[in-house]
Structure 1
Amino acid sequence: MKGTILKSLQKIESDFEVKILYACESGSRAWGFPSKDSDYDVRFIYIHKREQYLTIDPMGIGSKRDVIEEPIDDLLDVSGWDLTKALRLLRKSNPPLMEWLHSGIVYHQAFSTIDQMKELGKSIFAPHSCLHHYLNMASNNYKKYLEGEEVRIKKYFYALRPVLAARYIKEYHRFPPLQFPVLMNTLVLEGELKAEIENLLQRKLDGEELELDPKKEILNEFLSDEICTLREYTKTLDHKIPDCTPHLDKLFRDALVEVWDK
Structure 2
Amino acid sequence: MRTKTEHLQEAGLPVTDLDPVLAGERDPLVFVTVSGAHLYGFPSRDSDVDLRGVHLLPAEDLLGLRPPEETRSRMWDRDGVEMDLVTHDLRKFVRLMLKPNGYVLEQLLSPLVVRTSGPHAELADLAPAVLTRRHAHHYRGFARTQWALHEKTGELKPLLYTFRALLTGIHLMRSGEVTAHLPTLLGEVAAPAYLPELIAAKAEAEHVGAQDVDGTGVSRDVERLHEVLDRAQAESALPEAAGGLDALHDLVVRTRPTPRPPVTPSAAGRT
TM-score relative to the length of structure 2? 0.78
1:7 is aligned to 20
* CA distance in structure 2 between the partners assigned to 1:257 and 1:144 by the alignment: 43
1:87 is aligned to 94
Equivalent position SS for 2:25: helix
Deviations 1:10-38 (A, max 9, x none): 1113xxxx101100101101111100001
1:69 is aligned to 73
Which piece of structure 1 moves more, 91-100 or 231-240? 231-240
The count of corresponding residues between Structure 1 and Structure 2 is 240
Per-residue deviation, 1:124: 2.5
The one-letter code of the counterpart of 1:7 is P
2:30 is aligned to 21
Per-residue deviation, 1:197: 1.1
* CA distance in structure 2 between the partners assigned to 1:19 and 1:77 by the alignment: 18
Unpaired stretches in structure 1, ≥5 consecutive residues: none
1:170 lines up with 2:178 in the alignment: no
Deviations 1:195-217 (A, max 9, x none): x1111111112338513424424
1:140 lines up with 2:145 in the alignment: yes
Per-residue deviation, 1:136: 1.0
**Which of 41, 61, 64 matches 1:32?**
41
Query: CA distance change for structure 1 residues 240 and 211 in 2, over 3 Å: closer, same or farther?
Result: closer
Question: Contact 1:69/1:78 (CA < 8 Å) preserved in 2?
Answer: yes
Per-residue deviation, 1:255: 1.1
Question: Contact 2:139/2:165 (CA < 8 Å) preserved in 1?
Answer: yes
The one-letter code of the counterpart of 1:2 is T
Per-residue deviation, 1:247: 1.7
Per-residue deviation, 1:72: 5.0
1:151 lines up with 2:154 in the alignment: yes
Per-residue deviation, 1:233: 5.3
Question: Contact 2:157/2:207 (CA < 8 Å) preserved in 1?
Answer: yes
Query: CA distance change for structure 1 residues 236 and 208 in 2, over 3 Å: closer, same or farther?
Result: closer
Question: Contact 1:151/1:214 (CA < 8 Å) preserved in 2?
Answer: no
Question: Contact 1:92/1:241 (CA < 8 Å) preserved in 2?
Answer: no
TM-score relative to the length of structure 1? 0.81
Per-residue deviation, 1:257: 5.9
Where does 1:99-248 land on structure 2 (aligned, <5 Å)? Answer: 99-110=106-117, 112-128=118-134, 130-146=135-151, 151-172=154-175, 174-188=176-190, 193-194=192-193, 196-207=194-205, 210-216=208-214, 217-231=216-230, 234=233, 240-248=240-248
Per-residue deviation, 1:82: 0.2
Question: Contact 1:46/1:80 (CA < 8 Å) preserved in 2?
Answer: yes
Question: Contact 2:143/2:166 (CA < 8 Å) preserved in 1?
Answer: yes
Query: CA distance change for structure 1 residues 168 and 235 in 2, over 3 Å: closer, same or farther?
Result: closer
* CA distance in structure 1 between the partners assigned to 2:234 and 2:156 by the alignment: 32
* CA distance in structure 1 between the partners assigned to 2:43 and 2:232 by the alignment: 31
Question: Contact 2:143/2:161 (CA < 8 Å) preserved in 1?
Answer: yes
Equivalent position SS for 1:81: strand
Query: CA distance change for structure 1 residues 122 and 28 in 2, over 3 Å: closer, same or farther?
Result: same
Equivalent position SS for 2:211: strand
Per-residue deviation, 1:223: 0.8
Query: CA distance change for structure 1 residues 158 and 34 in 2, over 3 Å: closer, same or farther?
Result: same
Equivalent position SS for 1:77: strand
RMSD (Å) for aligned C-alpha atoms? 2.7
Equivalent position SS for 1:187: coil
Per-residue deviation, 1:132: 0.5
* CA distance in structure 1 between the partners assigned to 2:155 and 2:48 by the alignment: 19
Per-residue deviation, 1:54: 3.5
* CA distance in structure 1 between the partners assigned to 2:70 and 2:206 by the alignment: 38
